[in-house]
């Protein structure tokens, strides 16, 4: 069954995503498996939408019962895919709702719109919508090898595809070309769309691309990268976990060269 988003509902009960610190959820454990709590939505909960007959709400964990808190990452595979996607929305929307209690234009309090996903200033009427920050991630290929890099920022030392945020006025393809050049000193061509992945932390949308090496040798100009190299599909370093589009790009690269 598919998720159908909504703003208002008659429902007062449903599945409740209690968000903790913007990146974790309160869950109930039954037979060891995590479940989304079911019950009456607290006052001020955000209605997210429905899956079938089931209404979904989000609220801050401080509004809910004392339950086990678990990182969203650890719910991947434990919730079904549709529900996991709603959990991502819950995290993003609770953070957005909390961050925009006051108008950025005049400073007066805002309130939730009853007709669309926005908060509206009670004084000047200025509306604030959830913002999405697009970022690109790209697998660069050269003669059957992929450019992978290790960032100082990664909590564990794995190698991944290069990535970066889109700047104002840029097309996604231009961001791909600019980022690879800035971070690794390489010129790329033939930029092709691969797929995308929403990520609620920081409200980003990762857009994946494949592209080909055109010129240049690896020069780490950006202080962000610790190491970068070309890797053959049968000699990969430690790569990111399955959850990520980075891993999907790398798996696709390996699959294409398997034969």
Query: Which residue ranges make up the site for Zn ion (CB under 5 A)?
Result: 103, 105-106, 108, 121, 123-124, 126
Q: Which is nearer to Zn ion, 105 or 152 (CB)?
A: 105
Contact 206, 245 (CB under 8 A): yes
Q: Which is nearer to Zn ion, 36 or 103 (CB)?
A: 103
Residues 6+ apart with CB under 8 A from 222: 182, 183, 184
Distance of closest approach, residue 109 Cβ to Zn ion, in angstroms: 9
Q: Per the structure block, which two tokens stand in for 99?
A: 């961050």
Between CA 85 and CA 56 the distance in angstroms is 12
Q: Which is nearer to Zn ion, 77 or 127 (CB)?
A: 127
Q: Which is nearer to Zn ion, 35 or 123 (CB)?
A: 123
Between CA 70 and CA 164 the distance in angstroms is 28
* Element holding 137 (H helix, E strand): strand 133-142
Distance of closest approach, residue 110 Cβ to Zn ion, in angstroms: 7
Distance of closest approach, residue 45 Cβ to Zn ion, in angstroms: 25
Between CA 51 and CA 61 the distance in angstroms is 22
Quote helix, strand, coil % in the chain, to nearest 5. Answer: 20, 40, 35
Distance of closest approach, residue 175 Cβ to Zn ion, in angstroms: 33
Distance of closest approach, residue 121 Cβ to Zn ion, in angstroms: 3
Which residues on neighbouring strands pair with residue 112, listed in sequence order? 119
Q: Which is nearer to Zn ion, 26 or 120 (CB)?
A: 120
């Amino acid at each position: 069954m598919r998720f159908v988003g909504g703003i208002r509902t008659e429902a007062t009960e449903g599945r409740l995503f209690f968000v903790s610190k913007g990146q974790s959820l309160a869950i109930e454990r039954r037979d060891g498996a995590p479940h989304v709590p079911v019950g009456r939505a607290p006052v001020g909960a955000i209605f997210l939408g429905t899956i079938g007959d089931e209404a979904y709400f989000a609220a801050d964990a401080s509004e809910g019962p004392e339950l086990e808190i678990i990182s969203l990452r650890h719910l991947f595979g434990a919730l079904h895919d549709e529900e996991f996607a709603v959990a991502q929305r819950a995290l993003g929307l609770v953070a957005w709702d909390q961050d925009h209690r006051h108008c950025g234009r005049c400073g007066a309090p805002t309130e939730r719109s009853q007709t669309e996903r926005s908060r509206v200033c009670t004084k000047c009427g200025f509306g604030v919508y959830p913002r999405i920050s697009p970022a690109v991630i790209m697998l660069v290929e050269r003669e059957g090898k992929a450019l992978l890099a290790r960032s100082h920022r990664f909590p564990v030392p794995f190698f991944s595809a290069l990535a970066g945020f889109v700047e104002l006025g840029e097309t996604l393809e231009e961001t791909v070309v600019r980022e690879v050049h800035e971070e690794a000193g390489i010129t790329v061509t033939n930029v092709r769309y691969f797929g995308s992945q929403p990520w609620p932390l920081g409200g980003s949308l990762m857009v994946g691309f494949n592209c080909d090496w055109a010129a240049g040798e690896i020069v780490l100009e950006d202080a962000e990268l610790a190491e970068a190299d070309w890797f053959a599909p049968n000699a990969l370093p430690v790569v990111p976990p399955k959850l990520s589009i980075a891993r999907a790009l790398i798996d696709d690269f390996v699959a294409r060269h398997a034969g």
